[in-house]
Amino acid sequence: MKVLALSGSLRAASNNTALLRAAARLAPPGMRIELFGELGQFPLFNPDYGDIFPPPVRRLYECLTTADAVLIASPEYAHGVTGTIKNALDWMVGCEVFVNKPVALLNASPRAIHAHAALRETLSVMSAHLIEAASITLPLLGSGLNEDGIVTHPAISAALSNALSVLATTASISPST
């Protein structure tokens, strides 16, 4: 099972990106999580491009097309999703690549409720299949945990591993796979 991971943060020391990298290390047998690292190269969404995607956007489209599921972690800025993740999703709205695609949301901060809700709304409008039981909030903000710390933290790694197992099980019976 191939899972595409998207981080809404471009920061080198991002908690969200560290969370996704830790998820890749904790993935259950048979699941491969690949972090898409080109969101910072996307131009701002412009419908005048039509069906001709700029190269990094084309690569995201292709990765989404071949993914069995998607894992998204994004911080909250000013009570909303980051421009990075919103821009990426805006590019994908017209091509229907998210329709029935199993998606799990990881939230690295219990305080990031507005962005998490906005992300859910956007994905719902795009007809993604949100896997609620695999979408979790973890208390990483202010914890000082990096990728290795997440993987070795007993409670956090257990919760993340469980969410990934639920995603694997649910995605394997999803209509898009």
- Whether pLDDT at 75 is above 60: yes
Output Rg (C-alpha) for the chain, integer angstroms. Answer: 15
What pLDDT sits at residue 177?
A: 47
* d(C-alpha 165, C-alpha 2), whole Å: 13
Closest to 109 in 3D by CA, of 133, 75, 135: 75
- Whether pLDDT at 142 is above 90: no
- Whether pLDDT at 50 is above 90: no
Instruction: Calculate what percentage of the chain has a pLDDT beyond 90.
Output: 82
Give residue 172's pLDDT band: very low, low, confident or very high (50, 70, 90). Answer: confident
Average pLDDT of the segment spanning 80-90: 95
* d(C-alpha 37, C-alpha 25), whole Å: 17
Give residue 51's pLDDT band: very low, low, confident or very high (50, 70, 90). Answer: confident
Tokens, residue 66: 């071949």
Q: Which fold has domain 2-172?
A: Rossmann fold (3.40.50)
What pLDDT sits at residue 176?
A: 52
Q: Are 141 and 108 in contact (CB under 8 A)?
A: yes
Give residue 69's pLDDT band: very low, low, confident or very high (50, 70, 90). Answer: very high
In this prediction the pTM is 0.94
- Average pLDDT of the chain is 94
